[in-house]
């Protein structure tokens, strides 16, 4: 295997790992959908 091919393969691997981790970011706090009863207390209050 040539040096170029080895460096190219390593660069592709690093790029794939970087892009896969970049997709895991949290953009905003989660908000429940309208009409949702979540979160609710457990056990149910009497």
pLDDT tens, position by position, 3-39 = 999 999 999 999 999 888 877 766 777 788 888 877 7
DSSP letter (8 states) at residue 44: P
pLDDT at 11: 97
List Cα–Cα distances, 10 to 23, 26, 32, 36, 46, in angstroms.
20, 28, 42, 47, 61
Return the pLDDT at 21.
81
């Amino acid at each position: 295997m040539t040096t170029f091919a080895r460096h190219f393969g390593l660069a592709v691997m690093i790029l794939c790992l970087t892009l896969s981790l970049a997709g895991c970011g949290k953009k905003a706090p989660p908000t429940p959908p309208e009409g949702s009863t979540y979160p609710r207390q457990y056990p149910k209050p009497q």
